[in-house]
Structure 1
Amino acid sequence: MRETLARICELQPEYSPENTPAMQERGRLVRSDLKSEIEGLRPRLAAALGSFGRDFLSEASDGIGRKTELPWVRFCSRNMSPNPTEGFYCVTHFSTDGSAVHITVGCGSSRFHKGSSVPLPDHELDAQTEWARGVVLEEFGTLAPFDDPAEFGARRPLPLSFQRATAISHRVAYSDISASDFDDLFHQAAQRLRPIYTAQASGRDLTDADQRELEISAALNPLHRPSGRQGYGLSAPARKAVEQRAMDVAAQFLRSKGYAVRDTSASNPFDFEATLSGKQIKVEVKGTTSDRADGIFMTANEVELHMSEKGNTGLIIVSSIRLSENSGVFSGSGGNVEWLLGWDIDAWLREPTAFRLTRSGI
């Protein structure tokens, strides 16, 4: 493998978008030799991915038609990343000047939204990679040895997007290739991809609104799953545990702020009536396993309440709730609180996600 990696680096300065002899050789090395060598590590890499390694996938490309500045070889779970534009995966890149090999974990340039995959604008792509780094830090306490800058020397738009989509990266200088243990580096990269997949499987990278859309879609279309999300969706007991944890955290938070709290969730389109210094407000609580608190799901009655009584309502979002399960019984723990007093629903974008249709005249 070291010889293959070194030779690809040596060919990088001869880059041409045309299929020159140098690019033909580079293509064979990337798409055949290096891919096969990584495929040879399948048992070890699949084991490092845990249950996500059961559908281990490896792919390689040096450009479709015209050659790319940044050829790549990737491996991943097919379910979690069915193609290079979706999900997270381990990917090997090469500096355009041939000075280094980069072993990375990165993501595609789209995400699930409103029932399908949509292209990610730059700020969303940055948020995805930052989220993934947070998951790795949470699991390992450090990004090392994958804490090198994702700087590959790209100049063209598509290769530049590869740099932006890189969450963590380890750089091996050309001069160090012969002394580096690439089997171990790929294994370590797979170990860091596993907790990212685990976090995705519980919806931590999706907003509450997107999580609910997936659950609704799964219920209405049980034979269809969005790419990269097969099997995802909180069960009714798991959802109830999340909601109960959010209610408990929200009640404790309100009391810590001096509010008297009355639970009204059983009979009203809001969860708590909170009273402080004689003033009452109606509080809606939203709980989610997501680490993102920028999208929530509301019923028509809840929306109507916050619109008609604007200024007299509040919203508490409890994100990052962690679920555990014991003999089929779910419980929630943790949770980060965001308290929006006097919430202005009109400051948020409202998007219809489903409609109830009834025959007229019935």
Structure 2
Amino acid sequence: MKDLLSKVLDLQPLWTSKNDKNMQDRGVIVRRGLPDILRDHAPALADALGTSLGNLGIEGRDGTGLKTEIPWFRVFGREESPSATTGWYVVYLFSASGRHVYLSLNQGTTIWTGGDFKARRPEDLRARAGWALPLLADKMASRSDLLTTIHLDATTSLGRGYGPGNVVAIEYDRDHLPDQESLLADLLFMTGLLGALYSHERLSPHIPGDPAPEVLEAEQSAAAIAGRRTPASARKRRSGQGFLLTAAERKAIELHSVRMATEHFKAQGWSVKDVGTKESFDLLLSRGEERCRAEVKGTTSAGTDVILTRAEVEKQRGYYPHNALVVVHSIKLDRTGPEPATSGGVLHCTSPWAIEEQDLTVISYAYRTQVGIKPSDEATGRHRLQGNVPLQRK
């Protein structure tokens, strides 16, 4: 393994996007030679990951067609990370200069929204890495050689994209590569961290840097209703998307946020009536002759986005300025018991609440087709787009 790593590092300064002899040699090592060595240790890797042999994935890539500046090979859970662009994995990354190779706990740079794979912003990747790091602190305490920053000397945007996604890494210098036994021991350690991260991910209702679960669910539901086909890699995904909420979890979050909003308004001297099952808003507030209609949204995310129906938007615009939006964000959701349990949360109230067009993002459309339209109507162009399920950005 040491010899093959050395050969790839020797070829890195000769990188070209063309598939010349040097890049062909590099590709054979990255795609076949190094992964084959890891496959010889598949049972130990699967055990470290806490998964079955069938779910253990090992693969290497150096670019399809054009050769990439930073080749890699990785260990991953097939269910958790069916593509290198999604989910968490352990990956070897070769610096463009050929000076270093990193063994990195890293992540994919896209998320499936239901209609397409959306690129994650560098700041979102860093936020996700920041979420993961303290969860693994106990397991990393015995190591003093772990790095949270990697330097791949990349000149391409693709090559530079690996840096923000790094959680923790081990750096190997070209002139001081360890022997195979040490390399495999490091790999098993890092694979153990990956397995622990998968476990934390399954229990997390929201990971910083991810879209709010409610927003992601709305996008995916809209895409499903519109008949959008889902790629195989997205169909396989169970985690890494923050796990969509169950009906019981959504209800628990809703009741928790309404309770907090009720307490908030009562402390201000309002009489509060819960009308959420009958009206297009949640709370009717009364204080002397004053009336206010409040919409309440609860979320496990940071609360930067909430979902509104078209009816909610239209009604609240009519109620202005005697209206309010209450967002209870950062609610803690405990999934470990037989029933979901909620706690905490930060309440933010906007009143009066003016809904501006620039704060709304349309997730889907209802489109009036020409099916069944009379020829005379067709000549006048009687078909149009109608916005549906807008997204409120605060």
TM-score tier, shorter chain, comes to 0.7 to 0.9
CA–CA separation in structure 2 for the residues paired with 1:305 and 1:89: 46
Q: Which residue does 2:257 correspond to in 1?
A: 246
1:345-360 equivalent positions in 2, closer than 5 A: 345-346=355-356, 347-353=358-364, 355=366
Q: Among residues 302, 312, 328, which one is paired with 1:318 in the alignment?
A: 328
Measured after TM superposition, the shift of residue 108 of structure 1 is 3.1
Q: CA offsets, 1:297-356, max 9 Å, x none?
A: 2223212122222332222223333132534x3322333433333333214123143659
Give secondary structure in 2 for the equivalent of 1:345: coil
Query: Structure 1's 320 and 171: CA in aligned 2 closer, same or farther, altered over 3 A?
Result: farther
Equivalences for 1:86-105 in 2 at 5 Å?
86-105=86-105
Q: 1:160 to 1:140 in 2, by over 3 A?
A: closer
Structure 2 distance, partners of 1:237, 1:156, is 46
Indicate conservation of the 8 Å contact 1:286/1:316, yes or no: yes
Partner residue of 2:218 out of 212, 234, 253:
212
- Specify the alignment match of 1:282 in structure 2: 293
Q: TM-score, normalised by structure 2?
A: 0.74
2:282 to 267, 271, 277: 271
Measure how far apart 1:188 and its partner are: 4.3
- Supply the AA of the counterpart residue of 1:97: S
Q: 1-side partners of 2:76 and 2:91: how far apart? A: 9
Q: Secondary structure at the match of 1:103?
A: strand
Aligned to 1:11: 11
3-state SS in 2 of match to 1:334: strand
Aligned amino acid, residue 350 of structure 1: T
Once the 2 structures are TM-superposed, how far is the Cα of residue 260 of structure 1 from its aligned partner? 4.8
Given the superposition, is the C-alpha separation of residues 352 and 72 from structure 1 closer, same or farther in structure 2, using an over 3 Å criterion? Answer: closer
Secondary structure of 1:262's partner? strand
**One of 190, 193, 198 as aligned partner of 1:194:** 198
The reply to whether residue 183 of structure 1 matches residue 179 of structure 2 is no
For the 8 Å contact 1:80–1:197, the answer to whether it is kept is no
Whole-angstrom CA distance in 2 between matches of 1:101 and 1:12: 11
Asked if the contact 1:203/1:211 (under 8 Å) is kept, the reply is no
Contact 1:288 1:320 in 2 (8 A): yes
Cα distance in 2, alignment partners of residues 186 and 197 from structure 1: 16
Alignment: residue pair count: 354
Partner SS, residue 59 of structure 1: strand
1:19, 1:198 → 2: CA distance? 41
Answer yes or no: is the 8 Å Cα contact 1:270–1:302 preserved in 2.
yes
Paired AA for residue 74 in structure 1: R
Residue 153 (structure 1) shift? 0.4
Give the deviation of 1:69 after TM superposition: 1.5
Aligned counterpart, 1:116: 115
Residues 57 and 76 in structure 1, CA contact (< 8 A), matched pair in contact too: yes
Name 2:133's counterpart in structure 1.
Answer: 137
2:11–2:26 CA contact under 8 A, matched in 1: yes
Q: Deviations over 1:272-306 (max 9, x none)?
A: 234679754322111233x2423222223212122
> Where do 1:24-35 residues align within 5 Å?
24-35=24-35
Structure 2 counterpart of 1:101, one-letter code: V
Deviation of 1:70 after TM superposition, in Å, equals 0.5
Letter aligned with residue 186 of structure 1: M
Q: In the alignment, residue 306 of structure 2 is paired with which amino acid? A: I
In percent, how many aligned pairs have the same letter?
Answer: 24
Find the counterpart in structure 2 of residue 304 from structure 1: 314
Q: Distance in 2 between matches of 1:317 and 1:295?
A: 10
Asked if the contact 1:48–1:194 (Cα under 8 Å) also holds between the matched residues in 2, the reply is no
Tell me whether 332-341 or 58-67 shows the greater mean CA deviation.
332-341
1:283 maps to a residue whose letter is: A
Q: Distance in 2 between matches of 1:335 and 1:54?
A: 40
Distance 1:42 1:249 in 2: 50
- Tell me if structure 1 keeps the 8 A contact 2:146–2:170: yes
* Cα gap change, 1:61 to 1:229, in 2 (>3 Å): closer
Question: How many angstroms does 1:53 deviate by?
Answer: 8.0
Match of 1:96, SS state, is coil
Gaps of 5+ in 2: 373-394
The two structures have a TM-score, normalised by structure 1, of 0.80
Match of 1:128 in 2: 124
Partner of 1:262: 273
Shift of the 51–35 alpha-carbon distance from structure 1 to 2, 3 Å rule, reads closer
Measure the CA separation in 2 of the matches of 1:273 and 1:92. 57
**CA contact 1:139–1:195 (8 Å) conserved in 2:** no
Which residue in 2 is equivalent to 1:69?
A: 69
Q: Give the match's secondary structure for 1:89.
A: strand
91-100 or 273-282: bigger deviation: 273-282
Q: Structure 2: which amino acid aligns with 1:194?
A: Y
User: Post-superposition shift, 1:71?
Assistant: 0.4
SS at match of 1:326: coil
Question: CA shift at 1:168, angstroms?
Answer: 4.1
Q: Secondary structure at the match of 1:335?
A: strand
Structure 2 distance, partners of 1:281, 1:45, is: 59
In the alignment, structure 1 segments of 5+ residues that lack a partner are none
Bigger CA radius of gyration: 2
Give the partner amino acid of 2:129.
R
What is the SS of the residue equivalent to 2:292? Answer: strand
